[in-house]
Structure 1
């Protein structure tokens, strides 16, 4: 359920903000237009927000700036520390996409940025089923995450990373669980959520799924 990547998250805590700002050439395409992507997630959020994979708190800060009430879930202690350094009074809980304390108030929006791909496809569906039950009437999921449009694009992306000598990125592509768009679409529809997908850069997509 993503916990196998905790060691990676702990290491990323020190360099994540620099990386998303374009400081690492290998990941520039992954995080291209990063701030704009987070703004789009926030623009589609409403009401009480539950955020998974808070990381260093970049999306959290934007949500709060937009006047939203946010409870954050983050499994990495070092990431939580970074987020708390940035945002005074932030509500952060140790948990992950599948194992987390359920808030005692309705959840209108569930958000995440660049994290859901750390679950296997089966775990993603398990999480989606849980979120569908947890969301309030007319609630929604809003994710920004990496995925493949189809199998052909997956092959092309791997070839592109290899051609450019991006060995660390290629390892991520091979060991993390970037899903196919159709796989996510099927999981959302199965659990009474109507999904919308919009590609935002070579890797990242805006994913909105409304409860119906």
Structure 2
């Protein structure tokens, strides 16, 4: 990544999982497989953004690489960006292994792994057909979320699709104590040891926002929201189109 101004929010700060530690990255990957149906989520995203064979798609916060692995079979180029070099190395190795095992080794050439985040990735070339981000935008406080969304819009072609999946609060804030206690119990049942502590850290230290605020930020950045889906009071997805 290029040198950043001293005033720019540091999106490489680690909260909870240390994404510079390979053992913690592996543990995170395993925990997510327990509490999420990752294959279903990725298939849902690909169906919604409707990539053409000639499309270029960017994932910001590519994590352990599930989306790029699947998307490489659907389009010309997938740019997988993350602020963590160890995470990118893990994702690259995982993609190589998975694609070779599936007889799709040539698809690996369609994936470009890039160090960069919401505030630092610099797009070069033709405007993007689509941008995807999953469970990453909450790492930014709200002002910097707005900046990130404006930057994303500036990289995309008119009519391009943005898909966001993230931890967004849609429950009644007046009932926050009851909601969080029940949610943590449920996560312990599903994810096992370690998962509730991840959630505690998220609730206490990270930057999830409220659904109506998120919708307004998306619209102010230059997108129209085609669909917004809120689940369990804690998870939201947005399918958005870049306006002219």
Q: Distance in 1 between matches of 2:144 and 2:56?
A: 24
TM-score normalized with structure 2 length: 0.75
Gaps of 5+ in 1: 23-27
TM-score normalized with structure 1 length: 0.85
- Cα offsets for 1:86-115 (capped at 9, x unmatched): 223331111111111212122111101111
Shift of 1:132: 1.7
Question: In structure 1, what is the equivalent of residue 240 of structure 2?
Answer: 209
Question: In structure 2, what is the equivalent of residue 94 of structure 1?
Answer: 115
Shift of 1:211: 1.5
Shift of 1:154: 4.8
Question: In structure 1, what is the equivalent of residue 224 of structure 2?
Answer: 194
Gaps of 5+ in 2: 1-8, 96-107, 189-195
Question: In structure 2, what is the equivalent of residue 41 of structure 1?
Answer: 45
Between structure 1 and structure 2, the one with the greater Rg is 2
Question: In structure 2, what is the equivalent of residue 66 of structure 1?
Answer: 74
- Cα offsets for 1:113-144 (capped at 9, x unmatched): 11111111111101111122221010121122
Q: CA RMSD in A?
A: 2.2
Of 164, 167, 171 in structure 2, the residue corresponding to residue 146 of structure 1 is: 167
TM-aligned CA distance change 1:199 to 1:101, over 3 Å: same
Q: Distance in 2 between matches of 1:204 and 1:65?
A: 27
Q: What pairs with 1:15-26 in structure 2 (closer than 5 Å)?
A: 15-22=27-34
Shift of 1:203: 3.4
Q: Distance in 2 between matches of 1:174 and 1:101?
A: 31
TM-aligned CA distance change 1:181 to 1:84, over 3 Å: same
* Contact 1:37-1:144 within 8 A present in 2 as well: no
Q: Distance in 2 between matches of 1:149 and 1:68?
A: 36
Of 43, 46, 50 in structure 1, the residue corresponding to residue 58 of structure 2 is: 50
TM-aligned CA distance change 1:141 to 1:152, over 3 Å: farther
Equivalenced residues, count: 204
Shift of 1:210: 1.0
Of 167, 171, 179 in structure 2, the residue corresponding to residue 157 of structure 1 is: 179
Shift of 1:169: 1.6
* Contact 1:41-1:143 within 8 A present in 2 as well: no
Q: Distance in 2 between matches of 1:153 and 1:69?
A: 45
TM-aligned CA distance change 1:162 to 1:17, over 3 Å: closer
Question: In structure 1, what is the equivalent of residue 18 of structure 2?
Answer: 8
TM-aligned CA distance change 1:100 to 1:182, over 3 Å: same
- Cα offsets for 1:17-58 (capped at 9, x unmatched): 211221xxxxx2xx2x33211211122223211110111101
* Contact 1:38-1:144 within 8 A present in 2 as well: no
